[in-house]
Structure 1
Amino acid sequence: MTSTQPPRRRILGFSTKMYFSHARTKSYLSSILPHLTAEQNAQSVSSLDLFIIPDFLSLPSAVSQTRGSPLLVGAQDCHWDDTGAFTGEISPAVLAEVGVRIVELGHAERRRLFGETDESTARKAAAAARNGLIPLVCVGEVSRGSVDEAAREVAGQVEVVMRAVPRDKEVVLAYEPVWAIGAAEPAAADHVVGVATRLRALSCVADRRGPVRIVYGGSAGPGTFAKLKDGLDGLFLGRFAHDPEQFWKTIQEVATA
C-alpha cells in the first residue's frame, strides 16, 4: 500500500534528564534562544522542528521563556489517565494545559529502573496523543546484534505503540539501541539506517495517516546526522547538547545536511 503520510520535517532536540537545576534550565534557554530567533538564522531554523525536554518543575517557566520562539517544550513522562487517584504522577491533560507539546515515553532508563513495559508505554502514548501532544517513544534493542535481529526486537515495541495511538495522530520514534546509550561512539550508520528502513516498512507505520518520524539517539553528536540523513528524520541528543553552543552547531548541521 502506498503511504498516505505527509512529507516529514526534520526534528532535533534533547532531554535534560535530572542533570539541570531550574536555574540552569533558564540560563540554558537564555543562551540558545538568541541563536534561534536571530534574523540571519531564520531560514535554517524554520526548516526544523526543535525541542527541549526539561524536568517537570521547570516546564511552566520554560514554556513562558520560549513563547514566540521555534523551540518546543516537552515533558519527560506522563501518566496514561488524565485525572485520578495517582499520587505523584503527571497528567497529560495538565501538560497540554501549561503549553507542553511533546512527551518522551518509554526511555530505556525508565524501562530498566521503573519496570515500564511496551504496554504501559503504549497507554501513555495514547494518552499523550489524546491530549494533542506528540508522543516521542523511545525504542531499541538491548543487546548488540545484526540489523535483522535488532529490527525484529524493535518492531515488537513499535507495533504495540501503533495499535494504541489513533492512525491519524503523529508519532516520533526515537531509535536508541540500549547498548549504544552513553557509549563513546554511536551505532554504525548502516546499522541505524537499516533498522529505521525496516521500521518504516512495517504496515503499522507505512499505513498510518499521521506522520511517523524516526530520530536516532544513543551517543549522537557532531557529524552523526550527515551519515544518517538518507534514513532518519533527526536526532534525539544526549549530554552533548547540554552545551548550548554545541546544540546550536548540531542544529546547523542537521539543517544543512
Structure 2
Amino acid sequence: MTAKRPFIGTSWKMNKTRAEAAAFCATVAASRLADCEAAQLFVIPPFTALVEVAGALAGTKVLVGAQNAHWADAGAWTGEISPLQVKDAGATLVEIGHSERRTFFNETDQAVALKTAAVVRHGLAALVCIGDTREEYEAGETDAALRRQTEAALSKVEWQEDTRVIFAYEPVWSIGEGGTPADPAFADEKQAAVKAVIEAAIGRPLPVLYGGSVNPENCVALATRPHIDGLFIGRSAWDAAGYLGIVRQVIDAMA
C-alpha cells in the first residue's frame, strides 16, 4: 500500500496586501518543503495577489488557486472572474462553494454545480467545500447535508481522464474565530461518509480534505486519520512560518 500524500493548503480569504503576499511566498519558496514529495502544498490568495503569487511559486511544486470563479467563460457579469481569467492569472486550482460564499453571497448547490463543471472543463482543479451548519449538526442532519452538497457538486461534471475534483469537509460550526475544532474521529467518520457518496455517484474515489480550525495542536491527529486526505487551513497558516510548521509536523508524523 502506497503512503498517503496529503494535500496541505491555506486560503487567505480577504487578507494580505500584495507586499504581504510576496513576503509569504518568499519564505515558502525558500523552504525545502516547497519541493517536497511527501505532501502536496497549495496556497489560495485573493484575486489581487493571484498573478504575483503564481509567479513567485512557479518554480516550486506548490499549487496556486483562486478563491472563486464564475461558471461563464466571459460576459456581462460585473465583479466576477471567469475560469479562463483564473487560468490566465497562473492558477491551477479554484476553491468553490465555501460556506461564507453560500451563507453571505447566497451561493446555491446549483451555482456550485455550474462552477465545478466550468472549472474542470478548462483543466483546472476544483476544490469544493462542503459542510454542515450548527443547526444541521445539532439536529443530526450532518450526513444528509453533506450528501446533498456532494451529489450536487458532481452532478454537472463531464468526466475526462484528467478531470480533477477535490472535496474539503469544513463544518460551518468549526470555521473562523470562535469555531469549535471537530473531534478527529468525528471528522474521519464524516469524511468516510462523503467518500461513500462520491463512489456511489461516480464510481471512482476523490480526495476529501478536512478544514475547520486546523491548528498546530490538532493537525497531526486529523491528517493521520485514514479517511482524511489532507488539511485545508485557515488563520493558523496565514503566517508562512506557521504554515510550514504544520506541513513539517504532518510530514514527520507520516514518515
1:34 pairs, out of 30, 33, 50, with 30
1:8 to partner: Cα distance: 6.4
Match of 1:97 in 2: 88
Of 180, 195, 200, 2:195 maps to 200
* 1:7 Cα offset (Å): 8.9
Hey, what does 1:225 align to over in structure 2?
A: 219
SS at match of 1:137: strand
Structure 1 contact 225–234 (Cα < 8 Å) conserved: no
What is the correspondence of 1:68-79 to structure 2 with a 5 Å cutoff? 68-79=59-70
Whether 2:120 is the aligned partner of 1:129: answer yes
Deviations 1:11-62 (A, max 9, x none): 0101111111111001111112111468xxx5xx212111111111111111
Give 1:164-183 correspondences, 5 Å limit: 164-168=156-160, 169-182=163-176, 183=178
- Secondary structure in 2 matching 1:123: helix
Q: 1:173·1:214 contact (CA, 8 Å) conserved in 2?
A: yes
- What runs of 5+ residues in structure 2 fail to find an aligned partner? none
Deviation at 1:226, TM superposition (A): 2.5
Instruction: Give the number of aligned pairs.
Output: 246
Q: Structure 2: how far apart are the matches of 1:113 and 1:216?
A: 22
What does residue 85 of structure 1 align with? 76
- Equivalent residue, structure 1, for 2:247: 251
Tell me: CA distance 1:184–1:37, structure 2 relative to 1, closer, same or farther (3 Å).
closer
Mark the CA change 1:36 to 1:124 in structure 2 (over 3 Å): closer, same or farther: farther
SS in 2 for 1:19: coil
- Report how far residue 207 of structure 1 moved: 6.0
The residue that corresponds to 2:14 in the other structure is: 18
Deviations, residues 202-245 of structure 1 (Å, cap 9, x unaligned): 2x435647651111111001142332321201100001101111
Give distance in 1, aligned partners of 2:30 and 2:194.
37
Asked if 1:159 corresponds to 2:151, the answer is yes
Q: C-alpha displacement at 1:163, in angstroms?
A: 1.2
Quote how far apart the aligned CAs of 1:98 are.
Answer: 2.6
Q: Determine the structure 2 residue equivalent to 1:188.
A: 183
Q: Alpha carbons of 1:72 and 1:36: their partners in 2 closer, same or farther (altered >3 Å)?
A: farther
CA–CA distance in 2 between the matches of 1:9 and 1:163? 27
2:94, 2:127 within 8 Å by CA — same for their partners in 1? yes
Is residue 118 of structure 1 aligned with residue 118 of structure 2?
Answer: no
Residue 132 of structure 2, aligned match among 103, 117, 141: 141
Residues of 2 paired with 1:57 and 1:166: CA distance?
Answer: 30
| Alignment TM-score, normalising by the size of structure 1 | 0.88
Percent identity over paired residues: 35
CA distance in 1, matches of 2:85, 2:3: 30
Deviation at 1:131, TM superposition (A): 0.8
Change (3 A) 1:150 1:112: same
**Shift in Å, 1:97:** 2.2
Q: 1:170 to 1:63 in 2, by over 3 A?
A: same
Of stretches 143-152 and 188-197 in structure 1, the one that deviates more from structure 2 is: 143-152
Looking at structure 2, the residues matched to 7 and 106 of structure 1 have their Cα atoms a distance apart, in angstroms, of 29
Matches within 5 A, 1:43-54: 45-54=36-45
Cα gap change, 1:142/1:12 in structure 2, threshold over 3 Å: closer, same or farther?
Answer: same
User: Cα distance, 1:65 vs. partner?
Assistant: 0.9
Q: 1:3: which partner in 2?
A: none
TM-score under structure 2 length normalisation: 0.89
